[in-house]
Amino acid sequence: MAMKEDSNLELLIDQLADLIIKSKRIVVFTGAGVSTESGIPDFRSPDGIWTKYDPEDFTYQKFVSSKEARKKMYGMLEESGLMADTNPNPAHYAIAELEKMGKLDCVITQNVDGLHQKAGNSEDKVFQLHGNMVRAICLGCNKRYPLGDVINKVKQGVDDPGCEKCGGILKPDAVFFGETLPHRELNEATSRSAKCDLFIVIGSSLVVYPAAYMPTYAVNAGAKLVIINREPTHMDRASHIRIYEGAGETMLKVMERVRGSNT
């Protein structure tokens, strides 16, 4: 039985490599299943961050209105491991390689870690629907700071670090509960999803909206859909290829096949 399952996986990997080779405009959509393989904690898994903290404590409204809420946020960032120094994994590097090959139109990501850019994807090809935890932004003048620098100030005893330019509140540049998704990123993601010829979901259960609408836009426009995720999704039946495996190992094998076809 195991041999049959292994051979079936190899077949699916071959089929995905063939799709990539034939495609001209690929959109890759990534979720927490890519980040966790780099050691970044998940928010929504059975033992994720929201099982240890109350999401209601981290709304945009509370953060802006309460110094105590801001202290709690910085404490959570430190304790949860979200701010640990992490590196891209094989899935990130595979997606960056698709860009180098001229195959990738863009990456649409729910992740806030900046690892796609760290792996080599161009900033203008990565649409971070939920913002990022790499930098902080001043809510007064929009000046940006490395979030790690803000966290370090808190560690050094600065109670509520403010903007050096205008004194405004500094907020991690991720989308909080009660905050709208970034308008430009959402519009670009929607438009590009509807124009691709291949849409690859990697490491997302497609349960968070409006991000999870993206594969539907692609399928409705005639693109082929591939889903690589350990857990089922509501789009499985619409997929051309469905792989129930980890992100990094799968994409490593897929790109080996793609490279092999060019030699």
Number of domains in the chain: 2
Same domain? 186 vs 243 = yes
Highest mean pLDDT among 111-115, 170-174, 188-192, 259-263: 188-192
Residue 92 annotated as catalytic: no
Same domain? 63 vs 161 = yes
Q: Compute the distance between CA of residue 99 and CA of residue 125 in angstroms, rounded to an integer.
A: 9
Helical spans, DSSP H, in 83-155: 90-100, 115-119, 147-155
Domain that holds residue 17: 1-40+88-130+181-263
Task: For residue 261, give the H/E element and its range.
Answer: helix 247-261
Query: Residue 262 pLDDT more than 80?
Result: no
Under 8 Å between Cβ of 77 and 83? yes
Annotated catalytic residue within 92, 130, 183, 234 = 130
Same domain? 99 vs 221 = yes
Task: Specify the CATH number for the domain of residue 102.
Answer: 3.40.50.1220
Same domain? 17 vs 64 = no
Instruction: Give the pLDDT confidence of 60-106 residue by residue, as tens digits.
Output: 999 999 898 888 888 777 776 666 678 999 999 999 999 999 999 99
Count of helices and strands (H, E) across the chain? 10, 9
pLDDT band per the 50, 70, 90 thresholds, residue 51? low
Same domain? 120 vs 201 = yes
Cα angle for residues 207, 213, 215 (degrees, 5° grid)? 100
Query: Residue 44 pLDDT more than 90?
Result: no
What's the predicted TM-score (pTM) here?
A: 0.89
Task: Specify the CATH number for the domain of residue 75.
Answer: 3.30.1600.10
